[in-house]
Structure 1
């Protein structure tokens, strides 16, 4: 399993840091995994699945 750090998530999704955290607080973006005391990351598969879900909804 590959873990994406925040900058990687920003690059893959095209979202800014503030948008990612705002969407997380609204329940519209997956929460990260705690990797250490001050580090978090998202499983790449979770981010890709989220993107695919958004793409599927927009094509309806």
Structure 2
């Protein structure tokens, strides 16, 4: 028989990276595992459900990375949008020529 571990909110926050309000809101909408009632004033989460949710998030990330790397989606080649890149290039040229960048 496998023993199930129940996680309390501070542990769920640590594992998920979400804040308290986000954990509860996402559980309400079904985007996160629902808690179980432990008593009249306490709730907890089944550890395996939280870890399964985390594995699903990792799989979605990995699938997304494969789509980007397969050439279906072109990753950005420059760190700036084209217009901003042109501004940076002009500023670099002005600095190289010994002139100050216009304000």
| TM-score (ref. length: structure 1) | 0.93
Once the two structures are superposed, what CA deviation does each residue of 1:5-58 show, in whole Å capped at 9, x if it has no partner? Answer: 011100111110011112112210011010000100001001000000011011
The count of aligned residue pairs is: 60
Q: Counterpart of 2:56?
A: 53
Q: How big is the alpha-carbon RMSD for the aligned residues of Structure 1 and Structure 2? A: 0.8
Following TM superposition, where does structure 1 have runs of at least 4 consecutive aligned residues deviating by more than 2 angstroms? none
Counterpart mapping for 1:27-38 below 5 A: 27-38=30-41
Q: Distance in 1 between matches of 2:27 and 2:34?
A: 6
- Alignment gaps of 5+ in structure 2: 64-103
Q: Distance in 2 between matches of 1:32 and 1:11?
A: 16
Q: Counterpart of 1:10?
A: 13
**Secondary structure in 2 aligned to 1:58?**
helix
Q: Distance in 1 between matches of 2:15 and 2:25?
A: 17
Higher relative contact order (CA 8 A, sep 6+): 1
Question: Bigger radius of gyration, 1 or 2?
Answer: 2
